[in-house]
């Protein structure tokens, strides 16, 4: 190599060094792709609130980079999902994607994230595939897999001695997978799912299906609904007179962030989830107080998942000094992290899904009160994940 070439390389290196540094102190663009309209609108807002609360607690910066948000309302519409996520990446040049609530939309996000290498943190959607067959070094989840609360409830309902159960849910990934998780544990425990009822997302015309449940007279019903749909289902179940005769169990989304609207119709319901309103730990108490002060609202599971998505981003950025191009270091930091969540500390499984306690909760006085731990440190099996 000539002296001239060497000199040129040295000069280029000198020029590149300040540029590289500048990159990791520039504003960090976070693309928030969440539902702000439709049956999951309140869930999207709670996730954003939780995320912002953590960033504010860090002085508005993560690893020295000021955080800036670009928001998209995904409308929980899978048909618009690929366009929406491509806009965030190509038009808005976001550094990281955070989203979303709906499993079908999240799967489209995961596909684009996997192909483009853009880091993605999923702050709700439980689509098993995201941390299963679609798992990737740059995809992480701060919430749960649909299998997790379903599986935990299957064990609870079997232990209660119920034998015949009817399930009812929306016909899409989240509903199907929640029921599949329930069925796996319930049938292992000696029960039988005798009928699987469903209606298209986000329909709420439950009447005909409730009539079928009344006619089938099962020992119990297991359900997955969330948001506005969960409010209406719980009210309709009670109005149909079924609450008095056939016990209703659900994944905890049935009664999370919904109790004000459900009122007495939700009283006594038992659900399983990775959060409860009365954990009483110093960590959760501090979170709940800060959230209530900031937003004049009580937090729910969605707020916690948003908060933890920001914590996870902070952990990855701290390990890479704010440089998201260091993908292996970013992933390694999260893979060995113990995330100090208000729900209780959790780690990530090999597919990057939380390994966490699933609580049994009961509705009482507008709260999901902690009854006990239904399943300790439950890990999604991550079926189909090769990383």
CA-to-CA dists, residue 312 to 7, 178, 347, angstroms: 42, 25, 11
User: Does the protein bind ligand PHB through residue 179 (CB under 6 A)?
Assistant: no
The C-alpha atoms of residue 57 and residue 313 are separated, in whole angstroms, by 14
The H-or-E segment that residue 314 falls in is helix 301-319
Interface with ligand PHB, residue 226, by CB under 6 A = yes
Where in 236-275 is the site for ligand PHB (CB under 6 A)? Answer: 253
Residue 227: which of 206, 263, 252, 246 has the closest Cα? 252
User: In terms of CB distance, is 124 or 167 closer to ligand PHB?
Assistant: 124
| Residue 386 CB partners (closer than 8 Å, separation 6+) | 135
Select from 126, 228, 299, 382 the one that contacts ligand PHB (CB under 6 A): 126
Tell me which stretch binds ligand PHB (CB under 6 A): 80-88, 98-106, 185-193, 276-284.
Answer: 98-106
Per CB under 6 A, the list member of 52, 65, 102, 183 interacting with ligand PHB is 102
Q: How many residues bind ligand PHB (CB under 6 A)?
A: 12
> Among 24, 45, 103, 368, which residue interacts with ligand PHB (rule: CB under 6 A)?
103
The three-state (H, E, C) secondary structure of 143-157, written as one string: CCCCHHHHHHHHHHH
Query: What is the rounded distance in angstroms from the CA atom of residue 339 to the CA atom of residue 347?
Result: 6
Q: Applying CB under 6 A, does 235 fall inside the site for ligand PHB?
A: no
Binding map of ligand PHB across residues 20-39, x = CB under 6 A, - = no contact: --------------------
CB of 335 vs ligand PHB, minimal distance in Å: 23
Using the minimum distance from each CB to ligand PHB, give the nearer residue, 173 or 210.
173
User: What are the structure tokens assigned to 368, written together?
Assistant: 């999901």
Q: Binding of ligand PHB at residue 174 (CB under 6 A)?
A: yes
For residues 11 and 254, give the distance between their C-alpha atoms in angstroms, rounded to a whole number.
62
Give the DSSP letter of residue 373.
E
> Would you tell me which residues interact with ligand PHB (CB under 6 A)?
40, 101-103, 124-127, 146, 174, 226, 253
């Amino acid at each position: 190599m000539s002296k001239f070439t060497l000199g040129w390389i040295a000069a280029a290196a000198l020029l590149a060094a300040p540029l590289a540094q500048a990159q990791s102190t520039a504003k960090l663009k976070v693309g928030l792709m969440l539902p702000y309209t439709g049956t999951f609108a309140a869930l999207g807002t709670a996730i954003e609130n939780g995320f912002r609360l953590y960033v504010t607690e860090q002085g508005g910066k993560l690893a020295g980079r000021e955080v800036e948000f670009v928001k998209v309302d995904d409308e929980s519409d899978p048909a618009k999902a690929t366009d929406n996520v491509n806009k965030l990446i190509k038009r808005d040049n976001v550094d990281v994607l955070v989203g979303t609530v709906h499993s079908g939309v999240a799967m489209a996000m995961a596909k684009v994230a996997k192909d483009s290498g853009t880091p993605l943190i999923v702050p709700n959607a439980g689509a098993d595939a995201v941390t299963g067959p679609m798992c990737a070094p740059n995809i992480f989840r701060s919430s749960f897999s649909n299998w997790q609360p379903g599986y935990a409830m299957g064990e609870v309902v079997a232990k209660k001695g119920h034998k015949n159960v009817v399930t009812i849910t929306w016909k899409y990934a989240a509903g199907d997978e929640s029921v599949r998780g329930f069925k796996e544990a319930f049938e292992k425990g000696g029960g039988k799912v005798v009928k699987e009822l469903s209606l298209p997302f986000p329909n709420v015309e439950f009447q005909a299906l409730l009539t079928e449940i009344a006619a089938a007279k099962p020992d119990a019903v297991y359900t997955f609904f969330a948001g506005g749909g969960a409010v209406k289902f719980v009210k309709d179940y009670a109005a149909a007179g079924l609450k008095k005769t056939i016990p209703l169990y659900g994944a905890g989304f049935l009664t999370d962030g919904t109790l004000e609207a459900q009122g007495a119709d939700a009283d006594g319901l038992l659900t399983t989830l990775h959060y409860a309103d009365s954990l009483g730990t110093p960590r959760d108490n501090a979170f709940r107080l800060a959230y209530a002060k900031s937003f004049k609202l009580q937090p729910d599971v969605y707020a916690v998942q948003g908060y933890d998505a920001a914590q996870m981003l902070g952990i990855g950025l701290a390990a890479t000094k704010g440089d998201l191009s260091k993908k292996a270091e970013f992933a390694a930091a999260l893979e060995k992290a113990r995330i100090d969540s208000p729900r209780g500390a959790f780690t990530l499984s090999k597919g990057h899904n939380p390994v966490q306690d699933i609580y049994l909760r009961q509705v009482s006085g507008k709260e999901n009160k902690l009854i006990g731990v239904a399943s300790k440190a439950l890990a999604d099996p991550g079926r189909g994940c090769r990383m």
